[in-house]
Chain A
Amino acid sequence: MIPILNLAFKDLKILLRDRGGLFFVLVFPLIYALFFGAIFSGEGGQSVMRISVIDQDRSEASQSFLQRLEKSPSLSLEGHSLAEAKALVRRGKLVAYCVLPKGLGESSLFAPSKNPPKILLGIDPSRKAEKGFLQGILTEAWFAGLQETFMNTKKMRAEVDRSLKQAMGAKNLSSVDKARLRDMLVSIDKFYASWEQKRVQVKSMPQSGTTQQSEKPQIQMGPEFIFQGIGPKRVRPASAFEVSFPSSILWGMIACVSAFALSIVKERVRGTFLRLEVAPIPKGSILLGKAFACFLAATAVCVLLLLFASLVFGVRMQAPFKLLVGVLMTAFCFSGIMMFVASLGKTEQAVAGASWAIMIVMMMLGGGMVPLIAMPSWMAQLSDLSPVKWGILSLEGAIWRHFSWMELLPFLGLLLGVGILGLLLGTYLQFRGRGG
């Protein structure tokens, strides 16, 4: 064990004196975490969509629609002329523009019209996700207005009256249709008249008990949506930093892989490996010392970044013991991968190239570059193969995902397995052909 510790501490000392190596192992991951944490910080990590609304109607209905849109936390409304708005959307400065056409407020609820007013939405066709999201918000705001109308007896009776006049004057309706529509509208008007009368009576009654609550009839228009959190507590990250720091830790780990894989090949090229082979230590311990140094460096990077995240950004450590196990398993896995990567070439250039090629693909698939939640389905499936994803999930599982041991176990097992495989395969490949 002493030779392994001696070798490991020597490598850590060298790493600490190598400013370039230290930058990629510790500083770059920190910058990554801060940068992406800052970009995605805010409510649930979602950004606010900037849209421009051009109100050509300027009616009570359009103004009230605008007010409802302004309440949406996902939108930031701006006022521009139509030409300006188009130019801004084209340049990508705005997500979309929305035109509320003239006559929007005059359109009636019940009278059919040949040319109903159309709300125009201008958006870059490539913004598919935003388009769907925006459509949902606009529809929600519009139907909230309708619900308000249906709940207001005065407004509703006025609307029925307006619709009745429009229907009776419509040229595209047959007399039979007009009669049916009139019967329906009259029935609706009677319903709202009786409802209004009841409310007047309730108001005039002496106040007692729960009668106040019955002033507003308990009517729900359409289904009510209830959003229920899955898990014992809140399962969303408290901030974007709870997502960006686990990813940044994995960047630190791949930097460790690259740094230590290169240090192995450097030792071979310099001749220090040969000198160590002459020393009275088991040959395996030379490589184990490297792996141990990589493990210690990777663990230290994890601990330092998590401490920083916790102290500065309040990142929660929901399950510290699970987090510790996750950190150790991830560091072990990447130490094994380092050993394998070091066996892929005989020169520094070959190993550097191989290590970055492998690591970048792992990061890309594993969610180190594109967040797991933003991946298309095919990529999300492929990401299951990347140790980066196992590492991120084992860390996030203990930070904010509230994973149980059963949920964590597959990832921890995979990390352990790949670590052992990498150590064995890497050691075998490096000693093969070196004359035992």
Chain B
Amino acid sequence: MIRAEGLTYSFGSRRAVDDLSLSVQRGCCFGLLGPNGAGKTTTIRMLTGTLVPDSGRVLMDGALDPSQKESKRLIGFAPQALALYDELSARENLAFLGRFYGFSGGALRKRCDEVLELVGLRERAKDLAGSFSGGMKRRLNLACALVHAPKILFLDEPTVGVDPQSRNRIFDNVKDLKAQGMTILYTTHYMEEAERLCDRVAIMDQGRILAEGSVAELKNSYGGTPILRIQVQDQEEELFPIEDPMAEIPRLLAKHPDLVSFEFDRPNLEQVFLRLTGRKLRDQ
């Protein structure tokens, strides 16, 4: 559905994206995971056709250039900034955007109601966007990207600055959209989100994709061995790398009858990133 080949973009002398290639299959939720400044937003802007790459190309739905009108109809985009008109109501924001996609009259009203219902803002449809909380604005930002029922959805850090309730709502929305067969490209620097939502994840840093695969593949390839932590009475905590934790439990209990507690540290994407870059995902 989305194919990028050798994308490169520089802001002056600083190279933001460096020879990036990726491919997203139809109906897949693809995560771009990386710290702030990794080049995720620049990549998304090239994929949506709002930034022309210095080199490389992007193809949508097989052959379409993203700057073409036909491919733009396929795309829904929720930018990282809250791209809303505070002086307009939630419904007016949606209606304004919907008209660009050919909606009008009753069809437009119906579609606005549907997306407002989806993000849980139907009751606040007539309220000005400026009066919304940060979480509600995030949900409206998502609704604006969905008003024309796109086939491909680009979500650029959609949960930044959001309360847990709105975050969960957004997660549910993404899952629903994925279930409906929508292709989603999701950028984040929260590994939990990528693990929870994405079928495939590309780990990105300094404008390059360092590794790509399903979450399990990435963990297996770069996460290292699971660690067993055991606490025996009157002894210091011990760490053991183990391949198969379930097989290890009986042997562990037999060996340490005075075992107080044990814990498995399974590899996560944070560890994958740490292994790939030598740095942590956040705290950059």
Contacts and interface: CB of A to CB of B under 8 A. Distances in A.
- A-B complex is real: yes
Interface of A: 2-3, 6, 10, 13-14, 17-18, 269-272, 274-281, 435-436
A277 B50 contact: yes
Contact of B96 (A10, A271, A435): A10
Contacts of B120: none
A278 B77 contact: yes
A274 B50 contact: yes
B109 to A, nearest CB: 16
A271 to B, nearest CB: 3
Interface stretch (B32-40, B83-91, B272-280): B83-91
Given A14-B87, A272-B84, A6 B100 contact: yes
Interface-centre pick from A14, A18, A272, A281 (highest chain B CB count, 10 A): A272
8 contacts: A6-B100, A14-B85, A14-B88, A270-B84, A272-B85, A279-B97, A279-B100, A280-B100
**Interface residue SS majority, chain B:** loop
Contacts of B100: 3, 6, 276, 279-281
Given A269-B81, A275-B79, 20 more contacts: A6-B96, A6-B100, A10-B85, A13-B87, A17-B87, A270-B81, A270-B82, A271-B83, A274-B45, A275-B83, A275-B97, A275-B144, A277-B50, A278-B50, A278-B75, A278-B77, A279-B100, A280-B70, A280-B101, A435-B50
A436 B48 contact: no
Contacts of B69: 280
A155 B88 CA distance: 85
B178 interface: no
B51 interface: yes
Interface of B: 45, 48-52, 69-70, 72-73, 75, 77, 79-85, 87-88, 92, 96-97, 99-101, 144-145
Contacts, number: 67
Given A6-B99, A6-B100, A278 B92 contact: no
B72 A279 contact: yes
A276 B48 CA distance: 11
A275 B145 CA distance: 8
Contacts of B97: 275, 279
A278 B73 CA distance: 9
Contacts of B144: 275
B79 to A, nearest CB: 4
B83 A274 contact: yes
A377 to B, nearest CB: 47
B224 to A, nearest CB: 39
B81 to A, nearest CB: 3
B284 to A, nearest CB: 23
